[in-house]
């Protein structure tokens, strides 16, 4: 696993956004991805009356749809048919990305995590008020694969290789970090 810290820019809320990236290697159980996982602290300000709606609007404006509101599963899983964005609308959580030997990251209200297809994620702990908004580029359908499904990893790797790059960053569209980090 390689990690790069501190990619940032002046934020839309007059404060620098802290952006961390993580790259996880295929461990034979979880495919992970050559694309970096992107964690952006304070990327979206939740609405006071309906915290999730700010994330839904922002993601949809940038082509990330098929959204849902819920939490994060407490077991390692990944998606082989789509990338995923998670917006922390309320509360906080500790999430392990990259499988059992991956990286544990704390996230809280306002944070956005862009997860490349194939990167495992599991909630380790959470506050009682955790609310997450998830969405997918172009509204893609997603599957749910567990790290215990070692028999299907070859087929999952092939599907992951066929997932197109998103047309836009889920928060900042064509100018967002995803466009620079994933498209070079």
What tens digit of pLDDT does each residue of 140-180 get? Answer: 999 999 876 667 899 999 999 999 999 999 999 999 999 99
Tell how far CA 111 is from the center of its chain.
Answer: 10
Evaluate if residue 24 carries a pLDDT over 50: yes
So what's the pLDDT on residue 148? 67
So what's the pLDDT on residue 149? 64
Question: Would you list the domain boundaries of the chain?
Answer: 2-183
So what's the pLDDT on residue 16? 54
80 closest CA partner among 168, 1, 184, 152: 152
CATH topology of domain 2-183: Jelly Rolls (2.60.120)
pTM, two decimals, is: 0.90
**How large a percentage of the chain has pLDDT more than 70?**
90
Distance, in Å, from the CA atom of 64 to the CA atom of 62, rounded to the nearest integer, reads 6
Listed in order, strand segments (DSSP E) in the chain are 2-7, 18-24, 33-41, 64-70, 77-78, 84-90, 92-97, 103-108, 112-115, 121-126, 131-137, 145-146
So what's the pLDDT on residue 152? 85
Mean pLDDT of the chain: 91
């Amino acid at each position: 696993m390689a990690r790069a810290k501190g990619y940032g820019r002046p934020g839309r809320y007059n404060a620098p956004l802290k952006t961390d990236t993580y790259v996880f290697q295929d461990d034979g159980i979880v495919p992970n991805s050559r694309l970096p996982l992107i964690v952006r602290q304070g990327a979206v300000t939740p609405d006071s009356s309906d915290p999730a709606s700010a994330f839904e609007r922002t993601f949809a404006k940038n082509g990330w749809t098929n959204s849902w509101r819920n939490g994060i599963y407490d077991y390692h899983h990944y998606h082989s048919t789509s990338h995923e964005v998670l917006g922390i609308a309320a509360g906080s959580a500790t999430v392990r990305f990259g499988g059992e030997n991956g990286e544990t990251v704390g996230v809280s209200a306002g944070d956005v995590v862009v997860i490349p297809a194939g990167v495992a994620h599991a909630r380790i702990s959470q506050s009682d008020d955790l609310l997450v908004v998830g969405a997918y580029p172009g509204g893609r359908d997603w599957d749910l694969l567990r790290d215990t499904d070692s028999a299907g990893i070859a087929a999952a790797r092939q599907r992951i290789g066929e997932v197109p790059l998103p047309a836009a960053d889920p928060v900042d569209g064509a100018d967002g970090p995803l466009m620079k980090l994933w498209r070079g």
